[in-house]
Amino acid sequence: MKAMIKIRINGEQHEIANQSNLAALFTLFPPKSTFTCALNGTFVGKDNYQQTQLKQGDSIDVLMPIVGG
Which domains can be identified in the chain, with CATH numbers? 4-63 (3.10.20.30)
Strand order in the sheet with 59-63: 12-17, 4-9, 59-63, 36-39, 42-44
Strand 59-63 and strand 4-9: the pairing is parallel
Written as tens digits, the pLDDT of the chain (69 aa) is 679 999 999 999 999 999 899 999 999 998 888 899 999 999 999 999 999 999 999 999 999 888 786
- Which helix or strand (DSSP H or E) is residue 25 part of? helix 22-28
Type of residue found at 31: P
Q: What is the pLDDT of residue 1?
A: 62
Q: What is the pLDDT of residue 39?
A: 98
Q: What is the pLDDT of residue 24?
A: 93
Tell me the C-alpha distance between 44 and 52, whole Å.
Answer: 8
Q: Hey, is 58 helix, strand or coil?
A: coil
Type of residue found at 11: G
